[in-house]
Amino acid sequence: MRTAAGERLEVLVSSHDIKTRVEQLGKRITADYDGKDLVLIGILKGSFVFIADLARAIDLPLAVDFMAVSSYGMSTQSSGVVRIVKDLDHSLDGKHVLVVEDIVDTGLTLNYIYGHLKSRGAMSVKICSLLDKVSRRQVAVPIHYKGFEIPDEFVVGYGLDVEERYRNLPDVCRVIKS
């Protein structure tokens, strides 16, 4: 792929490995939520590719909704202050919620979202994240379904971006500044 001037990309998690792991997660989620009213909630914008693939890998009737939150702005570091930019379109009363996130690093944003959703009448709230940067964690959040643990590096692709670029990459890549 063409890159911005002064940037080079190196594959950290291949599209093949992502596809395999998403299929495994889909099977586990299917078994765990069999007979339950499941709602996947994607956290925009980063989760849009992951939630689409994950929803297709889950062999159950389910609903999908989205939230957009802001804690980064145009920065690469979370401010820790979470603001809901787009709220859910439907009630969670009596539903089992699976929050689908692209990456968990500090845990600050996801901790806020998790608490917020638990207070909205859901039967249960669990978290599924494609990527986990354990070394960056500041707040413990329960990740029930995890794709990959990654090192503390800035990554793009498969929905993740830098200044809105590279979301369309099929792999998760580290950005190397030259």
Q: Where is average pLDDT lowest: 2-6, 8-12, 158-162?
A: 2-6
Reading the block at residue 3, the tokens are: 């890159």
Task: Label residue 1 by pLDDT band (50, 70, 90).
Answer: low
- How far apart are alpha carbons 34 and 68 in whole angstroms? 28
For the annotated catalytic residues, the residue numbers are 105
Strand partners, 4: none
Q: Which pLDDT belongs to residue 177?
A: 81
Asked whether the beta carbons of 106 and 139 are under 8 A apart, the reply is yes
Of the candidates 102, 108, 93, the one whose C-alpha atom is nearest the C-alpha of residue 161 is 102
Q: Is 90 exceeded by the pLDDT of residue 89?
A: no
pLDDT tens for residues 165-174?
Answer: 999 999 999 9
pLDDT tens for residues 46-58?
Answer: 999 999 999 999 9
Percent of the chain with pLDDT over 90: 67
Domains of the chain from N-terminus onward? 15-153 (3.40.50.2020)
Q: Is 70 exceeded by the pLDDT of residue 78?
A: no
Q: Which 3 state secondary structure label does DSSP give 53?
A: helix
Higher-pLDDT residue of 178 and 40 is: 40
Task: Label residue 88 by pLDDT band (50, 70, 90).
Answer: confident
Q: Which pLDDT belongs to residue 49?
A: 97
- How far apart are alpha carbons 143 and 99 in whole angstroms? 10
Task: Label residue 79 by pLDDT band (50, 70, 90).
Answer: low
Average pLDDT over residues 15-26: 98
State which amino acid sits at residue 153.
E
Q: Which 3 state secondary structure label does DSSP give 17?
A: helix
Average pLDDT over residues 147-162: 95
Of the candidates 156, 30, 160, 148, the one whose C-alpha atom is nearest the C-alpha of residue 96 is 30
Reading the block at residue 112, the tokens are: 């806020």
Q: Is 60 exceeded by the pLDDT of residue 72?
A: no
Q: Which pLDDT belongs to residue 69?
A: 87
Reading the block at residue 110, the tokens are: 């996801």
Task: Label residue 156 by pLDDT band (50, 70, 90).
Answer: very high
Q: Is 70 exceeded by the pLDDT of residue 77?
A: no
Reading the block at residue 56, the tokens are: 């297709």
Strand partners, 69: 84
